């Protein structure tokens, strides 16, 4: 078995069309995205329209992922393809159990929420995800885990004056 690591969202969908599992391709893509330290390169990874699948949920999910990654990682404006009408649902989709609806309504990031896709606060979390202040805030709420002294010092080094104010 070969681990597929697509470098772009467009490659994710091409692999899925060739029979690969969406979740494995997306995991590989996210690991590549998070391992890329260049904002320019990261933006290029989501720039190309992956195309439509014909499944409204998957099409909306891809739009949410593209927009969320651009916003979450400060890459500039979301790619134009993420704003296509086909990237929005007309009925809510809750990505969890019935009993979680209230939580998902409250926690869903804007890129997902505005498409009627309701999920957790960090829906694209992976072990490879950079541990920025937002990541730590969510993990502290979710698990009680807090940064070590060294990790906190690293966070403090990366804060801008606006963040400190």
What is the per-residue pLDDT across 90-126, written as a single tens digit (0 to 9) for each?
A: 999 999 888 999 989 998 999 999 999 999 888 988 8
Mean pLDDT of 145-161: 71
Mean pLDDT of 9-22: 93
| Residue located via tokens 């072990």 | 127
φ, ψ of residue 5 in degrees (nearest 5):
-125, 80
| Residue located via tokens 């904002």 | 39
Residue 165 to residue 138: CA distance in whole angstroms? 21
Contact 96, 119 (CB under 8 A): yes
Q: Which of 57-61, 111-115, 160-164 has the lowest mean pLDDT?
A: 160-164
Q: If 0-12 CB within 10 Å is exposed, 13-18 middle and 19+ buried, where does residue 150 land?
A: exposed
pTM comes to 0.83
């Amino acid at each position: 078995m070969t681990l597929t690591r697509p470098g772009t969202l467009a490659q994710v969908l091409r692999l899925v069309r060739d029979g690969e599992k969406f979740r494995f391709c997306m995991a590989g893509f996210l690991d590549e995205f998070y391992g890329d330290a260049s904002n320019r390169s990261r933006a290029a990874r989501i720039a190309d329209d992956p195309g439509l699948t014909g499944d409204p949920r998957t099409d909306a999910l891809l739009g949410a992922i593209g927009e969320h990654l651009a916003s979450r990682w400060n890459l500039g404006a979301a790619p134009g393809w993420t704003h296509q009408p086909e990237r929005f649902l007309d009925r809510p989709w809750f990505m969890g159990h019935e009993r979680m609806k209230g939580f998902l309504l409250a926690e869903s990031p804007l890129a997902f929420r505005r498409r009627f896709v309701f999920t957790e606060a960090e829906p694209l979390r992976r072990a490879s995800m950079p541990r920025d202040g937002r990541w730590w805030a969510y993990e502290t709420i979710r698990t009680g885990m807090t940064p070590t002294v060294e990790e906190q010092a690293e966070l403090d080094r990366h804060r801008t004056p606006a963040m400190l104010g």
